Amino acid sequence: MSSLTGVQVSTVKDRWKWSANSAGLFLVKTVKRMLKEEVVQDNSFVIDWCKWVPAKVNIHTWRMEMDRVPTAEALKKRNVGIGDSICPMCNSEEETVEHVFSACFIASNVWNGISSWVKIPNIYAFSLKVLHTFYKDLNLSEKKKDAMQGILMIVCGSLWRARNNAKFSNSPIRIDSILSEIKALGFLWFSNRSKHKGLEWREWTSFVNM
């Protein structure tokens, strides 16, 4: 109604007006400018594809960044009725994507296990973007950085699997099993799919001679 109060009806013929241009004319140039501005404004995170982990693991990372992982909070936002929105891993906090992969004490215990395995300072990530990119600033060989990139993705995949098993099958959460799964999957894929084929299990588990 308030938009209509300023409208004056006249007898002048109606015409189309291109609102992106002050003169009201349609120009391809202005479309290009709008598209460019859109790209700049869109600050969504573009993940670096990790070649040695399977596509589904990369895609899971990407979905996390886009808040497209069906956590209780994400489903609520989309009006999907779910009863309990408490994290099934710790049973104490609201289940958001940041919680499941970073703040939950199960997740932080897993991250601690990972940081002591790969011998880097404890991982405290305040955002998912940091969680997936901090390895780039570590003083590591290229080979270890390559390994780290995939390991971070595998951790998130395993945390999500553990969460699903807890939620839908009532399986107890065991941090040591999650860590073992991460190491085993990482070894399987890194030693077969990366450019560092033929790596031995001993090297992988000690992460020293890599």
Closest CB to Zn ion among residues 74, 90 = 90
Residue 90 beta carbon to Zn ion: minimum distance, rounded to whole angstroms? 3
With contacts defined by CB under 5 A, how many residues of the chain interact with Zn ion?
Answer: 4
Q: Which residues of 29-56 are buried (b: 16+ CB within 10 A; e: fewer)?
A: ebeeeeeeeeeeeeeeeebeebebbbee
Alpha carbon 123 to chain centroid, angstroms: 16
Backbone dihedral angles phi then psi of residue 121, each to the nearest 5 degrees: -60, 155
Residue 94 beta carbon to Zn ion: minimum distance, rounded to whole angstroms? 9
CB neighbours of 88 closer than 8 A, spacing ≥ 6? 95, 163, 166, 167
Verify binding: residue 152, Zn ion, rule CB under 5 A: no
Verify binding: residue 159, Zn ion, rule CB under 5 A: no
Closest CB to Zn ion among residues 65, 73 = 73
Residue 89 beta carbon to Zn ion: minimum distance, rounded to whole angstroms? 4
Verify binding: residue 118, Zn ion, rule CB under 5 A: no
Using CB under 5 A as the binding rule, the residues of this chain from 64 to 103 that contact Zn ion are: 87, 89-90
C-alpha span between 118 and 203 (Å, rounded) = 11
Q: Residues in the site for Zn ion, rule: CB under 5 A?
A: 87, 89-90, 104
